[in-house]
Structure formats: structure tokens, C-alpha cells
Structure 1
């Protein structure tokens, strides 16, 4: 392990020296989240026709399979979902909201020098600007390597706390579990009662010292090289394209739109409003009346 550390340090020193002050790069990432739990629940629902199931699977694919662009320099980056045309309709807003809860939407800005991040989120027609400190992950480095494209990558693992507003790691409870206590008041009003949400997850990342940038997709950072792949057991984010020192420079700065909140405050807002929505649907017999966001 000591020899691996010395070799990695030597590689970093030689590579860093070749990077100019105005260095900038761009990486394309493909994100895929497993939908096995949702598909299993649909298959067990006898009321759903094959046509309904096919339509839901197509919509889930749009929510769970996304393409992102990461533009980065030496100290900061912006990570944004690739824009796609949405079909018009009343359900567009709801699917945009769910897409945000599945890791999409907004511009994720990271400044690794100041150890802060800023991300703009739209939730139920209200704009928020989440501003907080970057979570420090206790990465464990490994000498294990693999090739991603033309780059040699090294493996690293860490335990990461899960945000309550990120539903990618939520597991739908089994139908028999969900029915338990169905008549209780808590069951009727507690939106989260439908899901098992882990408090923390194990992350496996692959980074390349050949690009000595302390950056990666989403909120991932803290490794001695650009992170090209992340796997949390349910979502895989994989780099599919890298462009270094393009002549076209991108302005890397945080968004300014939305009500400024911390990550904890935003999580609490999302969970509370989803619980209110669940309660309203049940008391009105499924009537999809709007819920107004408070100020």
C-alpha cells in the first residue's frame, strides 16, 4: 500500500505541472437507477393493464435514466442534466418534480476550494436555492485499477449519508408490509411510510489521477483525480465522454435563483409537502387538487 501511495503521488506531481492556469474540461455522464422495486410492484398489481404498465415503464425510464454534463476547472464545477424536450400535458410538472427527486433538474455547483455547493431546485412550482457545505467523505483508497475509456482508474470506497429528498435509494415496501397499519392515522398522513429509506449507503468510485482535479459528478469529490464512475448499489453514474481544454470556455458559477435554504431545510420541506399531498389525496378520495407552497 505504501508503494501504491508513492507511485500515485509521483503521477499526480508530474500531471499537475502540465495543467495551465486557465485549464477547463468537460465530462458527459450517463446515470441509471434500478427500477426493479417499482416494476415488481406493478407486476403484482392486477388492476394495471399491459398498456398502463408499458406507459409507466417508459415514464420511469425517462426519470431513472439521465445524461449530465460536468464542466470543471481547477477548483469549481457545474453539473447539469442535459436538456430534453418534454411532451406537453398536465403530468409534465409532476414528472419534472419526481425527476428532481431522482437526481435530475437544477444546476449543481461545487467549489472544492471553499468546500461549498449550490444547487437550484424546483419543487411544486416553487424555486429553492440549496446552499451548504460539501459533505466530507472518508474515502478508502485501493490499488485496484480498471480502464474507463483511455484512462486508468483507481477504486475508492466510502460511506455516505442519504439526503431525505433523494428518493433514488428508496425501496418500496413489500405489499404486505405496506398494508400493515393501513387504518392508522400515521399511515394515512405519513408519506414516507410507503418506503424504506436508508440513512447511509456505501459508495464505490473510480477516479483517474491522469486528470488531477478534485471533482466528480453531483456532490462527489475529495479524491486525487477526476471521478469517472460512481456506484451506490442502486444508481450507477458513468462517464461516457471527456473533452480537455476545449477552445469553447463555459462560465462556471453558481445559480442565483430561488429561496436560499440549507440541505436539511430543503429535505424537511419536501417530506412535509409530500405528506400533505398524500393526506389530501386520501381525504378527497384521490382528487388531485393543487397544494400551495408556503412562503
Structure 2
């Protein structure tokens, strides 16, 4: 009851206090890698394979900037920080395929007031504008707290079922696996930053979300600047082919299969000297 009372009171104060509220938050992201290096029948050593794996893991560690005001936000990669490309021990580049966005040029705009988002993203060189409604988060609020930097944060959880589709190449054959999995997302938000926003598509809590973990991705806020004079105007992305979220997911799935078909006669993704990276599996 105390938690519910606190939330109710806070939402009323949030509305009045956040009328001219704006700022910028920096987030570090870490994604668990499911890439597997296969160095058998190639001229790559186990030590080189381990080094490649480390470099790929480092590629999954990125820095994003969230710029926000009372109603909207932009979430995009920090342009000042370059993403390292993995190399093999002899200096060759490793080919890494990724689908479904989250690239260096992605821009995620969300309008909390209108409950909609626009995601400018790219698949195999083609630009898309994914326009759709923001999903509803059925957050379960708790009284558990912890400090992130100088901010006191409260824990909230969200559970949902998602469909995971994995396309892989096994013994030269293209295989697609689909499974339903339950995902538990833990969020930590702070009422000290009174705006109902967060990284990427996350929102809906009585305070800025400073940390998110869904079992695969971890996003942690490392810096907050509350100063309208340093905040750029938030502009909605306009370039790209307009599609819905459902249409984009289908396009992404088809493009993934197309790319894997190109390597149908191989065990994985050829890196030029016989070493391979298997995607999934």
C-alpha cells in the first residue's frame, strides 16, 4: 500500500514538475553473444579463436545517448565512440552478420504523450522507418531499492512471452528454429529524475529508468545532465521506407534467410582463410 500511495502521489507531482523538464542521459549497453567460433579444419589457432571471441564480445559493448524532454526522446549511438571491428591474429577482418537493427546509424524516437515510436534502422544497406504504437509495459512495482551513482532507484519487473526465431547453417543445410520463451525484464528507475522515460523503447515508470536487464541485454546509465541549454532539439526521423513493426520483423527474417542461403555450401560465415563463425546454435 505504501508503494502504491507513493506512486500515485509521485505521478501527480511528475506531471507538474516535468512541464519544462529536459536533459541527456548516457547509457552503456552489453549484449550476451551467441557467436561460436569453429576453428577446426582451418588455419586459425585456438588462441586466435579466443581472441576473436573477445573482440566480438567487445563489439557488443556500446554507448548510447538518450535526449529527452517532457513528451519525447531520441535514443542513438554515441557518435564520438567508434565500435571496434574484430581482427584475426594475422590482421584479417572478421565478417559478422547482424539483423534486426541496433546498428550504428539507428535512431529510436518515441513520443510518450502520443504513445508512438519511429525507429530509423537499416537492413543490408536499405533504410527503413519503423512506425508503430509503443508497447504497453505491465510493470510490477516493488519497494526494493539500490543506488546507481548518486541516485536512489526502485526496482520494477515486467514479464512477457516472445517468439525467438534462429536461422543457422548446420552441415551445409539452412535451418530455422522458432521457440516461445518467457522473458523477465528488471528495471531500476529513479524518482529523482521525474520523467517517465528510459533507454530505447522502455518507459512508463514514475522516474527515469537507469538500468534494464532482460537476460540478454544489460543497459546501465553512467551520466545524467539536467540542463535545457545543453539539450538539442528532439527531431523525429523522416528518412527511410515506412513500415510497421510487424512488417519490419518479417523483412528482417527474410533478409536473414537470404544471407544464410548465400553461404549454404559452407558450415558458417567464411572469414577468408577457412575459419568460420556459426550464428546461433
TM range (shorter): 0.7 to 0.9
Cα distance between partner residues in 2 of 1:222 and 1:202: 16
2: CA distance, partners of 1:245 / 1:268 = 41
Gaps of 5+ in 1: 289-295
Question: Which structure has the highest helix share of the two?
Answer: 1
Counterparts in 2 of 1:149 and 1:207: CA distance versus 1, 3 Å = same
1:228 equivalent in structure 2:
210
1:134 aligns with 2:134: yes
Paired positions, count: 262
The structure-2 alpha-carbon separation of the partners of 1:87 and 1:112, relative to structure 1 and needing over 3 Å to count, comes to: closer
- Per the normalisation by structure 1, the TM-score is 0.76
1:66 to 48, 62, 66: 62
- Which has the larger share of strand? 2
* 8 Å CA contact 1:109, 1:117 repeated in 2: yes
Task: Tell me the SS of whatever aligns to 1:109.
Answer: strand
In structure 2, the residue matched to 1:116 is 116
What RMSD in Å do the two structures reach over aligned CA positions? 3.4
Give the equivalent residue in structure 2 for 1:76: 72
Deviations 1:86-110 (A, max 9, x none): 6799x99965x62864575411001
TM-score by length of 2: 0.80
Question: Which residue does 1:22 correspond to in 2?
Answer: 20
Deviation >3 Å, runs of 4+: 8-19, 43-48, 84-89, 91-95, 99-105, 160-165, 196-200, 283-288
Q: Secondary structure at the match of 2:2?
A: helix
Residue 264 of structure 2 aligns to a residue in which SS? Answer: helix
**Structure 1 residues 43 and 93: CA distance shift in structure 2, 3 A:** closer
Question: Are the counterparts in 2 of residues 69 and 82 from structure 1 also a CA contact under 8 Å?
Answer: yes
CA distance in 2, matches of 1:92, 1:122: 22
1:216 paired to 2:198: yes
Query: Per the alignment, do residues 116 and 201 of structure 1 end up closer, same or farther by CA in structure 2, a change over 3 Å counting?
Result: same
Structure 2, unmatched stretches of 5+, are: 87-91, 271-281
Higher mean displacement: 24-33 or 47-56: 47-56
Residues 285 and 212 of structure 1: is their aligned pair in 2 closer, same or farther, counting only changes over 3 Å?
closer
Secondary structure (helix, strand or coil) at the match of 2:62 reads strand
How far 1:225 moved relative to its partner?
1.1
